[in-house]
Amino acid sequence: MHQRLYSCGACLLFLFSIVQAQGDIIGMGHADGIVITSSDADSHPSETLDRSGFLPNHSAAAKLTAQTTFGATLSTIEEISEMGFEDWVDNQMSIPIGTSLKDEVTIYHNFRKAGENDSDAGTSMTFWDYSWWQYHMTQPDFLRQRVAFALSEIIVISRNSGFGNNPYAFGDFYDILLKHAFGNYRDLLQEVTYHPAMGEYLTYINNPKTDISENRFPDENYAREVMQLFTIGLFELNPDGTRKLDGSGEPIPTYDNLDISEFSKIFTGLMWGDRQLIRNQFFRGDQDRMSYTIPMQMLNEMHEPGPKTLLNGTNVPDRSPVDGIADIEDAIDNLFEHPNVGPFIGKLLIQRLVTSNPSPDYVSRVSATFDDNGSGVRGDMQAVVKAIILDKEARSCDAVEDSSFGMLREPFIRYVQLCNAFNLSTESGKYRNAMDDINELINQKPFSSPSVFNFFQPDHQPIGEIADQDLVAPEFQIINSQSLVGYLNGLNDWIIRDQPADEWGLYNDEEVPDNEKAFFQLDDEINIATDDRLHELVDRLNLVLAHGRLTERTEDIIINAVKEFASEDRDDLDRRVRVAIYLVMSTPEFLINR
């Protein structure tokens, strides 16, 4: 039935109207067969139906923060409600990178040198942990931070393999992720390929050409993983992320062992950027630091000569003289231009930010944006991220009723969300957090995955109802009896016992200064923790932590539980707030981000 509605020019927020016997909802994207006009010639009434004129309520704004940040305060949620989704996302993308994590590592290293009065004092991985935490507790580029973390789980390096206790490897590599979170994916691939941390992790640094007499052949690790994990995946894909099938109904592999062998020849001859001979090693001090902050250099005499055949019949010529850098350029172009990259990387990013099981249409829309940002540019990450965040599937009101939509909140993101939501602060503005206890409790912290396959794999299917419906739930791969109990014990440590961070000295016998010890700011919550205002407290926590998804029954259970605690003085009210936070962050409604 064709419907025509009339609206005044002020009606630019939203319209929910019941029509037809079936009770259809009109507005927020539900606009089939509907025309809306306005008496105000300067207004755009169609915005009411297509959602572009919709300013979000607080719950919708809180839902956005759950997909785009490591957690947000009530003031950030209110800011989004006033600005609208797209304006807030645009504003976030305009915020420059606040500082270099490599430089932060240097500050901590120099502090140790001064404290020990030793210019040769060694490094510690704690410097990397502190640098990551300092950045994320102080910088306002919330969306960039979340996207960089997502990229760190796609393009993986890990401290669990090599690196000799060198924090510069991770600080400098993470700077690349922050830099290209809103850059171009091809530029990201190129910088990653030349970064010595990746070269060390996937063992192609100091990777020489074939020498039959020594039974030596190029290392294949990076050649394999740059295809399987960083660009095209294992099987050819349709633009919507579904697998292409051959005449027998079987998936079509994107590459084979011969392709791996050919790509491995490409990545030969790369060596440390500050070293003159392949296999020449330095082990400590500034030279060791510089090795991880200078891109690898090409040693052409160690690069595999001759032609190479890449994907889709692309031929790398037999260059004379040998030119390893030109070969790598050709290989990166070959991978970047492959039609799989848009749907493969697009779906992975959707899984990390919005939902584990995006619809094919959702993937297709994001993939199309990867292929062309609207101005003929391929791989524009700013456009891709915006397409993911603002897609109708991500923003739909219907999603909360769809059991296949959403994702289990990653344990580490839950932890950082707690710290951000309640303004974890220090008097000095300097933070320390080694995150070791956190990692032991929940099996997760930055750059600590057990392998190049990340903490969990994108196609993981827990046994039971999820697998029976042929759905995936990647984050459940690190959920077991130990990590589940560990998370609850961690909540107890962080919020109940008021021990939110692992704060250690930076050198032997250094005491952590009192002004660098972190504390939660709970004054606003304490003010509404009395019996007559407990419902306000729980509503506030519901919004900030669970973006309004707690059921009335769950809220009543939490209120009744908190009432069992005394409320005689400020300490009692503080305890009530902490217990309420603990209970909200233990609920299924919080744990499943939908």
288 lies in the same domain as 371: no
What is the mean predicted confidence (pLDDT) over 96-111?
A: 96
Predicted confidence (pLDDT) at residue 427 exceeds the cutoff of 80: yes
Host domain of residue 345:
341-395
Where do we find the tokens 């032991």? 440
* pLDDT over threshold 50, residue 52: no
Cα–Cα dist 51/437, whole Å: 44
- CB of 519 closer than 8 Å to CB of 561: no
Residues 425 and 449 occupy one common structural domain: yes
The DSSP code sequence of 212-245 is GGGTB----HHHHHHHHTTTS-SB-B-TTSPBPB
Give the domain-ending residue among 12, 39, 54: 54
348 and 326 in a common domain: no
Entry pTM: 0.90
366 is a domain residue: yes
Report pLDDT for 275.
74
DSSP secondary structure string for all residues of 441-510: HHS--TT--SSTT-SS-TT---TTHHHHTT---GGGGG-SHHHHHHHHHHHIIIIIS---S----SSTTP
Residue 132 belongs to a domain = no
> 232 and 368: one domain?
no
The reply to whether 452 and 578 lie within a common domain is yes
Q: Which of 468, 412, 465, 466 is nearest to 439 (CA)?
A: 412
Instruction: Give yes or no: residues 435 and 286 share one domain.
Output: no
pLDDT single digits (tens) 429-476: 999 999 999 999 999 999 999 999 999 999 999 999 999 999 999 999
Tokens of 93: 């993308």
Q: Does residue 308 carry a pLDDT above 50?
A: yes
Same domain membership, residue 351 and residue 325: no
* Same-domain status, 364 and 283: no
Instruction: Indicate whether 381 and 440 sit together in one domain.
Output: no
Among 290, 308, 336, the domain boundary falls at: 336
Tally of domains in the chain? 4
> Quick check: is 290 in a domain?
yes
Considering the domain architecture, whether residues 432 and 570 belong to the same structural domain is answered as yes
State which of 395, 429, 463 marks the end of a domain.
Answer: 395
Q: Is 138 helix (H, G, I), strand (E, B) or coil?
A: helix
The pLDDT of residue 456 is 97
State whether 391 and 417 are in the same domain. Answer: no
Q: Mean pLDDT throughout 175-188?
A: 98
Is there a single domain that holds both residue 267 and residue 388?
A: no
Average pLDDT for 340-346: 98
- Does residue 475 fall inside a structural domain? yes
Q: What is the mean pLDDT of residues 206-214?
A: 93
